[in-house]
Every structure is written in structure tokens, then in C-alpha cells.
Amino acid sequence: MEKLKIKNDSTSSPSQPSREQSRDQISKMRNLLFNKYIIFYLLFFIFGFTAIAVRAQGELERKLETYLQVLDIVKNDYVEKNLDDQKLVYGSIRGLLDALDDPYSRFMEPKAYKEMKIRMGGSYSGIGIYIGIKDRQLTVISPIEGTPAKKQGLRAGDLILKIDGKNTKDMALEEAVSLIRGPEGTRVKLSILRRGWKELKDIEIFRAKIIIKSVASKNLNHNLAYIKLNTFENLTAAKEFEKVLREMKDTDGLILDVRGNGGGLLQNAIDIGSMFIRQGVIVQTVDREGKREQLESTGRVLWTKPVVMLINESSASASEILAGALRDNRIATLVGNHTFGKASVQNVRQLNDGSAVLITIAKYLTPDGEDINKRGISPEVEVLVPTKEAETEPEMQVPEEEKDLQLQKAIEILKTKLQREISG
């Protein structure tokens, strides 16, 4: 993508071009676009593309003419003369992506893109929540354990209707993320609506340095292992998981917990899935042409004993991919409640000025071909947590057995699996 910039060189006004000069600049932009399309037409002709494709480009060209007319009107007639050209360009890009009606295709300004790369390294400054768009509402997928968001009582499913007084209706996901994050020690006010509440509640949260630990673990009674995967976002998540899994090698069974895990990097899901699946598909992708690609296990199996996996409505993205892989390959029994339903593939394309576009290029299917995007994965054994217990959820990364109904059920199922192995 080439960056288009209107240069102001008027001698009559150092800050604003004259109407004639501005229109001349718009005309140059129009000619530049049209010239590029002429070259495009020639390439279509040379390589034998159909007249239909050329006609489609002509239709797009006519629609771009309308956009340039609006740009002309804004530059010359809008009441505020000193407009920020960069802001206009970025706003146009956001509008273009918003028209896709896909909350995960989004634009990031250079600062936001830089912060995203830092966050993938395992730390950033913010309040510590995963957010997404569900039913066109900005929604908390899950707060991260030990962070300001968790300590202030934010919960999965909370709707964020305002950020520092700014309405989030139709707000792009990346804009919301950018508004919530900020320098350590500063404050952000979120206006929250929760199921059962009759009105909004403002929650003020001080930002802090967020260091995400990918994995937590402990040994349970009956020689069972428990591993909680907090995130797939860190570049080191798979290595952290492998280290803990090796430490648990002498236990008889494993409970793998991805409740509250908002997802992250696809490669982490593939690498972790490969520690359980010797041969088979981890996930399928389907692109815009309907072409399917199967991403298979690397075969680095480290665990062959019984597994039960805990999921809930805050398990999203890579968590759902791993859950689908272990279920369809008959490795794990899924226990808990229905997952979030975020299963689309985003490609990050860095642009010339350091900004970036995250564009959805495909969707995920489970190994057996189930489309889970916007649908989620249902557990094989459903255990719903009563409201009272959910409201008193312990603030620990590793839950206590006597306070966790889903964990209790997972232990029961795992013990039954082990008894069958012994008897059978």
C-alpha cells in the first residue's frame, strides 16, 4: 500500500492551501490512482484475464471517484481549516475495514503496532484484560489473574460501553485496546454493564506493568497433575508449557485448564497440541476460495496418559483450537461450558509508515471439520457454575479443588479413566 499525502505549499497561507491548489492536489491524487489502474488494466489484458475483471475494476474506479469528491469537499468546505491529513487517511482506512463487518480485521497506528509486538514478548502496560466483540458489543473475554482488572472485579462477559466517557458503540477493537492501555500509574475509567445489572457502573482502574506468566501448575491428590494455560500470546508459551509438562511426567493423569484463556498465537497451539498428538491434524484453515489446508502435529509427543481439559465461555481463539484438536483426536475429554467462538485467521501486514493492518484471511475448522467461529465448542461434559460460586471465584491462578465445581468434575472423570485403564 502506498501512502498518499497532500503537500501544503501555498504562499498565501502557510497552514492551508487555496481552494484551487487543494483541488489541484486532489486532481493529482485522482490521476495517480487512475494511472495505476490503467497499468493494472494492461496487466489484466497481457495475462489474459477476463473482461469481467476489468469491468469490476472500472466499477471500483468510479466508486473511488466518489470518495475523492468527498475528500475535496472536506478539504475545502469543512468549518475547521487546519485538518490533519494523517488523521483523515487513518480514519479512511478504519472506515474501509469497518465496512467488512469483521471486528478482527483492524488497523493499528505505528504506536499501537509497536505495543502489540512488545506485548507478545510477555509484558506491557495496561490493566490486564482480553477483550473482543460479541453481538456487536465490546466484551471482556477474561481478566488476567493478578492484574488491576482482576483485582477491581472485572469479569468475563462484562460489556464495556464507555472508555473514559467515550462511547464504544461501533468502536474498532484496536481503538478500544489503545484507549485502555497507557502509561503505568495512569488511570482509565470503564463504564461496565453486567448481566443482572439495571444500569451502568463506572470502574476506575490504575494501569500497571502487566507481566503475563503463560503457565501455572500444581500436583493434585491421587497423583494427578494440573496445568493452567493462562495465555497463548507469549512467544515463549509453548516452551514454558513443555518445561512444566516434563516436570509432571511421573504423574498418572493430567487436567489441562484453558478457562479464561483468551488465546494468542496459532503456532503455540500447534506446538502444544503436538505434545499430545503423535500423528494427526491440529487444525484446518479455509481461505476465501474455499481451499482447505491441514496443519498437522509435528509428532513431538511428550504425554500419552489420560487428559481432561477444562474450558469455559472465556476460552477463545488458540484455546478453542487446542480444545478442538485434543477432542477430535480422542486425546482429551472437554469439561466445563461453551467457549467464546473466535476462530478466524489474521495476517499482520506492516505498512510503509510503521502502521499495520490485521486482516482476516481464513477461518479455522477443527480436525473433524467443525466450524467454531461465532459458535464456539461445546464441552462433552457440561458443568455450569452457579452465580453465587462464580461471584466468589478465588483470585488465584491455580484454583482450590473444594471451591471449583468444574475442577472437581474433571478430577472425577480423570480417576474413572485411570480405573478403566487398570481394569481393561
Catalytic choice (317, 319, 355, 404): 317
Strand segments, DSSP code E, in 80-149 are 106-108, 123-126, 129-134, 137-143
Q: In sequence order, what are the residues at sequence separation of 6 or more whose Cβ sits closer than 8 angstroms to the Cβ of residue 163?
A: 176, 179, 180, 188, 189, 190, 191
Strand (E) or helix (H) holding 104: none
Q: Is 178 a catalytic residue?
A: no
DSSP assigned state of 97: H
Q: Is 314 a catalytic residue?
A: no
DSSP assigned state of 145: T
**CB-based contact 230:145 (threshold 8 Å):** yes
Q: Is 342 a catalytic residue?
A: yes
Cα–Cα distance, 335 to 312 (Å, whole number): 8
State whether residue 83 is helix, strand or coil.
coil
DSSP-assigned states of every residue in 24-75: HHHHHHHHHHHHHHHHHHHHHHHTT--HHHHHHHHHHHHHHHHHHHHHHHHH
Strand (E) or helix (H) holding 203: strand 201-206
What residue type is assigned to position 249 of the chain? Answer: K
Q: In sequence order, what are the residues at sequence separation of 6 or more whose Cβ sits closer than 8 angstroms to the Cβ of residue 72?
A: 22, 23, 26
Instruction: Summarize the chain as % helix, strand, coil (round to 5).
Output: 35, 25, 40
Q: What cell does 404 get?
A: 471449583
Catalytic choice (257, 271, 328, 404): 328
DSSP-assigned states of every residue in 230-287: --B-STTHHHHHHHHHHHTTTSSEEEEE-TT---B-HHHHHHHHTTT-SSSEEEEEEE
Cell 503475563, residue located: 212
**CB-based contact 354:114 (threshold 8 Å):** yes
Cα–Cα distance, 354 to 225 (Å, whole number): 44
Catalytic choice (257, 342, 355, 404): 342
**CB-based contact 203:161 (threshold 8 Å):** no
By annotation, the residues acting in catalysis are 317, 328, 342
